[in-house]
Amino acid sequence: MILMTEPFTTLTATVFPLPVENIDTDRVIPARFLKTTTRDGLGKYLFTDWLPAGLPPDRGAVLAAGANFGCGSSREHAAWAIRDAGFRAVISSRFADIFRVNALNNGLLPVQVSPRFLARLFDLLDQRPDAPVTIDLAARVVRFEGEEELFDIPAYKQQCLLKGLDDIDYLLSIRQQIEHH
Amino acid sequence: MKTLFDKIWDAHVVEQLPGGTHVLYIDRHYIHEVTSPQAFDGIQRRGVPVFRPRQTIAIPDHNIPTLDQHLPVADPLSRAQLDALARNCDRYGITLYPVGSPRNGIVHVVGPESGLTLPGMTVVCGDSHTSTHGALGCVAFGIGTSEVEMTLASQCILQPKPLVMNVRVEGTLPPGTCSKDLILHAIARLGTSAGAGHFIQFDGPAIRALSIEARMTVCNMSIEMGARGGMIAPDDVTIEYLKARPTPPSPADIERWRELRDDPDARFHAAFTLHAGEVLPMITYGTHPGTAIPVDGRVPDDADRQMLAYTGFEPGERVAGKKIDHVFLGSCTNGRIEDLRAFTAIVKGKKKHPRVTAWIVPGSKQVERQAVDEGLRDTLADAGFQLRQPGCSACLAMNDDKIPAGHYCVSTSNRNFEGRQGPGARTLLAGPLVAAAAAVTGEIRDPRELT
């Protein structure tokens, strides 16, 4: 295996809140910015039509969004743009399936929490926008001021992120097994 | 006690990794110009070949123009993506159906009509509407570019196995409604994330009564219900459709496909029943596909205010009579010949409303040829409509087919998200019948009043 991305172990960072449900990937990055042949430099288009003023420089490294985040188009550009804008994790009470996979494949950790936990996080950020959250991937725990919750991640993907490894070398290593299909 | 989905999925698992991740073998891989360049870059950087190039088919569709396809593509960025796709296909020995060639079109229209998608297959593409192919009884779903790279390198992807949901539709669709109305009704009833983590198996008499093309519309929008994909077990309708493809199936193929069904005691993780008799001509008022209501209905009083501010509707407003500016007939949802026929049947002998700009975009070159051969192009022309050339077009507005800010577009596509059809564009999702009624009246109108 080769090193894909910086490993993700424990992250303590401030949060950029988007308390809106059903944020689709067209809203994350509109289709007209997909005319690129590289993965880089898409952060400047993140939420560009929706938040024309742009994201604040002190936006933190964690995005928190309402339920069904990343629904719609399968464009991996959404995960690339979020990552390129400096985010390492997204917290939501539900992720769209394709976005979740795309995020995991790019070292962006989707942290799915209960609606109650998410509501409390938004409440706290309302009062104290600079309140940090801590995400401990090995323990699969997310916490902020007196609140703590376990989150799910497939064991294989957890190891990939903890070690910064990627899938393709693994798939190449089992080519003989694949030959039989 | 397996579902059909389980049977097909399990037969394609190469290995199970700890914690429920499966190495899934892929039979058919479609690629297009927008989500593949970075994947080819990846395998090139690693210095690995495409493992099984004959199982991948490349069809540019997302950012191609829908007029003057014989001319070079004007936009340099779009051209660069198209050139990259051609270069990559040439380098790795992948079959390409270039823009303007007889087999070009929207990948989800071309694949099934060309007989490249078959029952029992696993099918992927870097596009969420790959779910469309499930109408033929295969496991088909959209993937990201990292997974496109995995498929090129190893013909496999790593996936958690989805749960399986059964959506059964009883009864018969009323006259004047179509399968688009049915799926919009289903999404409005069940919600845009009802299918999260699931694959949907559609079944029941109303589904069995649908043509394959109509079934594709249903499976296409299963992703709009949050599902990974949708599928329909093969039956006589499926087999007749496949017999008419360029390479007809062998008796052994047909025998094998007839075995593709649920075990009698198959267990689903979730199940819903809908009644086709309750379906009415539908249209959306909001910015997600769950906001569909009957065209003779009113915007709910408790509708999200921010959403209404974008779409310009009032709570409690009747949607019928609302003036519209654009009509888009096309996309992988409703760009097939049956959709063109349905639209043409309503506009025949009438005139396009002068306020309306209408884009009639066939889903493929084959659909375009058929529309010409059947005389639909001439009938459309008599009514003031131009038949354009195939592509994804205004569904996602990557090419020049963009709806201006503030304008209303009655669109037969699949997503009405903010800005989907252009910044500020207001998309009203509907089927081809409602779109045709809007095109000739310039407003939201029940198509049953016009026939």
Q: Would strands A10-13 and A133-136 be described as parallel, antiparallel, or unpaired? A: antiparallel
> Which residue of B417, B426, B427 to mutate against A (max A Cβ within 10 Å)?
B417
pLDDT above 70 covers a percentage of chain B that reads 100
Question: What percent of chain A is helix, strand and coil (3-state, nearest 5)?
Answer: 35, 20, 45
Contact state of B81 with A35 under an 8 Å Cβ cutoff: yes
Distances in whole angstroms, Cα of residue B69 to Cα of each of B77, B105, B201, B335? 16, 12, 38, 18
The SS3 assignment for A134 reads strand
Please work out, in degrees rounded to the nearest 5, the angle formed at the alpha carbon of residue B269 by the alpha carbons of A25 and B161: 55
**Percentage of chain A exceeding pLDDT 90:** 87
Residue-wise pLDDT for B92-132, tens only, equals 999 999 999 999 999 999 999 999 999 999 999 999 999 99
Closest-CA residue of B relative to A153 is: B19
Q: Are A165 and A1 in contact (CB under 8 A)?
A: yes
Residue showing tokens 């104290």: A128
Interface check B77 vs A, CB under 8 A? yes
Q: How confident is the model at residue A54 (pLDDT cuts 50, 70, 90)?
A: confident
Q: Which two tokens stand for residue B99?
A: 């823009």
Of A35, A96, A101, the CB nearest to B63: A35
A154 in reach of chain B (CB within 8 A): yes
| Statement: residue A3 has pLDDT above 60 | no
| Residue A139 DSSP label | T
DSSP of A22-72, one letter per residue? --BHHHHS-GGG---SSSSS-GGGTTTTTSTT---TT--SEEEE-SSBTBS
* Domain extent listing, chain B: 4-159, 163-278, 282-449
User: If DSSP codes are grouped into helix, strand and coil, which group holds residue A158?
Assistant: helix
Whether A106 has a pLDDT exceeding 70, the answer reads yes
CATH architecture of the domain B163-278 equals: 3-Layer(aba) Sandwich (3.40)
Query: Which residues is B28 bridged to in the sheet?
Result: B123
Domains in chain A, start-ordered, CATH in brackets? 10-179 (3.20.19.10)
Q: Evaluate whether B163-278 and B282-449 have a shared fold.
A: no
Mean per-residue pLDDT for B191-219?
97
Q: Does residue B263 have a pLDDT over 70?
A: yes
* DSSP notation for B363-380: SBHHHHHHHHHTTHHHHH
Average pLDDT of chain A?
94
Q: Could you tell me if A50 lies within 8 Å of chain B, comparing CB atoms?
A: yes
Closest chain B residue by Cα to residue A102: B144
- pLDDT level of residue A1 (50, 70, 90 thresholds): very low
> Residue B20: is its pLDDT beyond 90?
no
pLDDT average, residue stretch B231-245: 98
The pLDDT of residue B74 is above 60:
yes
Set of chain A residues whose Cβ sits within 8 Å of the Cβ of B41? 37-38
Confidence of residue A164 (pLDDT cuts 50, 70, 90): confident
Facing residue for A156 by CB, picked from B17, B63, B226: B17
Q: What is the third-level CATH fold of B4-159?
A: Aconitase; domain 3 (3.30.499)
DSSP one-letter code for A133 = E
Band of pLDDT at residue A4, cut at 50, 70 and 90: low
Q: Across chain B, what does the average pLDDT equal?
A: 97
With 60 as the cut, is the pLDDT of residue B254 above it? yes
Contact A76 B145 (CB under 8 A): yes
DSSP B202-231: EESHHHHTS-HHHHHHHHHGGGGGT-SEEE
Determine contact: B18 vs chain A, CB below 8 A.
Answer: yes
**CATH annotation of B282-449:** 3.30.499.10
Share of chain B above pLDDT 90, in %: 99
Report how far Cα B73 is from the mean position of its chain's Cα atoms: 25
Arithmetic mean of pLDDT, B418-440: 97
